[in-house]
Amino acid sequence: MDLGLKGKSVVVTGGGSNIGRGIVLAFAAEGANITIGDIDEGQAGKVAELALKQGAAGVQVLKTDVSQLDQVKALMDAAHTRYGSLDAVVNNVGWDQLMFFTQSTPEFWDKVIRINYVGVLNCTFAALEKMIPAKGGSIVSISSDASRQGEPREAVYGGTKAAINSFMKTVAKENGRYGIRCNCVCPGVTIPEFDDEVGGTSMWAKPLFTPEQLEKVAASLPLKKVGRPRDIANAVVFLSSPLTAGHVTGQVLSVSGGYSMIG
């Protein structure tokens, strides 16, 4: 099925590892022009090479810290300059370390907030600067089912993701007049299939769960399996497509094997 993304200019932040990698490759299969912003330039470069082999019209990589607005603006500028437009942005960068809130520190809170929430603010602000004059575009932010029902050991992370859900709904209402659609995808536990799918800076560089823990997670879900990057990527591409989701905005979609079922 042609999703209308061939030749479109797409920015994916954190596109070097796990979910971000899957999203890049899904857009590549649609023939998009892709700009990857990632703090791990080497890992992102490997994904760029693979994306070209899988059908991307073009791929470029910029080393980007999403917590820094000047770097994010440079990322959006690069996509717009090279490919002539900015049609879709995926705010994918995320980071956490599992611990109870009472074990955490203010320094940890600040890092989680800056990467997960301020990063989305920066990227959305810079994207809208390009999309509003063009009268169109799609922004998808990767949230988490931890935002929809509290998850132990993810208090601050879940809080930032809940903030993203509310923020994206507001941005959708403010900018629908320009033809800009803004949505969220909420993964549950989503793990890479192979070690080479993550770089050294990824939160998945060291296993977060034992095999026994993952078995218990899978057993607790209605679909009896944990998520893979391609599961999230399929939802992102669907929401980014003007053909499949041209009348969808301000929505929060759980892609978690049924972990969260919120009407």
Q: One digit per residue, pLDDT tens: the chain, 263 residues?
A: 789 999 999 999 999 999 999 999 999 999 999 999 999 999 999 999 999 999 999 999 999 999 999 999 999 999 999 999 999 999 999 999 999 999 999 999 999 999 999 999 999 999 999 999 999 999 999 999 999 988 999 999 999 999 999 999 999 999 999 999 999 999 999 988 777 788 877 777 777 788 898 999 999 999 999 999 999 999 999 999 999 999 999 999 999 999 988 86
Q: Which residue has the tokens 């479109």?
A: 8
Residue at 262 is within a domain: no
Domain count, the chain: 1
Output the pLDDT for position 263.
66
Angle, CA of 35, 37 and 40, to the nearest 5°: 130
Residue at 263 is within a domain: no
Q: Which domain holds residue 242?
A: 9-255
Residue at 13 is within a domain: yes
Active-site residue, from 117, 157, 178, 259: 157
Report the relative pairing of strands 88-91 and 58-63 from DSSP bridges.
Answer: unpaired
Length of the chain: 263
Residue at 105 is within a domain: yes
Residue at 152 is within a domain: yes
Query: Is 83 a catalytic site residue?
Result: no
Question: CATH code at 55?
Answer: 3.40.50.720
Output the pLDDT for position 194.
78
Residue at 260 is within a domain: no
Output the pLDDT for position 90.
98
Residue at 4 is within a domain: no
Task: Tell me the C-alpha distance between 142 and 138, whole Å.
Answer: 13
Q: Which strands form 137-142's sheet, in the order they lie side by side?
A: 58-63, 33-38, 9-13, 88-91, 137-142, 180-187, 252-255
**161 to each of 13, 57, 170, 180, how far by Cα in Å?**
16, 32, 14, 21
Task: Tell me the C-alpha distance between 148 and 139, whole Å.
Answer: 20
Residue at 3 is within a domain: no
Structure tokens, 216: 């218990």
Assign 54 to helix, strand or coil.
coil
Question: Contact at 8 Å (CB) between 185 and 253?
Answer: yes
